[in-house]
């Protein structure tokens, strides 16, 4: 079953990942070994094969950090975090919201490295995979 993510702008995603609990979990995960399934077909952009693992890793770290922060947030922190995530309570489709934030951050990283043309190519590649 594929989850559809909730859409977040880059500015909204930046606020979420700057939330102290998310930031803490992301920093801890930077040193974790995360296994990313290699994509069976390579992403070709401007005639060269490009690595997707760094972007997929970033996506996974952000999504899991958002979910972990949701589990431990309480009281006012939880209320503020729910607002940032466009959620009404912790049962309000949390995986989809975390994927939305992760996708916005992943897209930003691709755009910073390869420009808008690269992001368009990457998105088309992801849609085919």
**Per-residue pLDDT tens digits for 91-119:** 899 999 999 999 999 999 999 999 999 99
User: C-alpha angle with apex 114: 50 to 107, nearest 5 degrees?
Assistant: 95
Query: In whole angstroms, what is the distance from residue 68 CA to residue 61 CA?
Result: 10
What percent of the residues of the chain are helix, what percent strand, and what percent coil, each to the nearest 5? 65, 5, 30
pLDDT one-digit tens code per residue, 78-91:
999 999 999 999 88
The whole-model pTM stands at 0.88
């Amino acid at each position: 079953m594929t989850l559809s993510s909730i859409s977040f702008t880059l500015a909204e995603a930046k606020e979420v990942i700057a939330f102290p609990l998310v930031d803490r979990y992301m920093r801890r995960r930077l040193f974790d070994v995360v296994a990313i399934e290699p994509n069976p077909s390579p992403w070709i952009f401007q005639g060269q094969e490009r690595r997707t693992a760094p972007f997929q890793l970033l996506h996974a770290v952000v999504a899991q950090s958002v979910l972990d922060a949701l589990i431990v947030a309480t009281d006012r922190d939880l209320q503020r975090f729910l607002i940032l995530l466009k959620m009404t309570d912790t049962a309000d489709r949390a995986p989809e919201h975390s994927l939305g934030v992760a996708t916005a951050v992943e897209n930003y990283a691709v755009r910073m490295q390869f420009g808008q043309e690269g992001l368009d190519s990457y998105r088309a590649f992801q849609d085919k995979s």
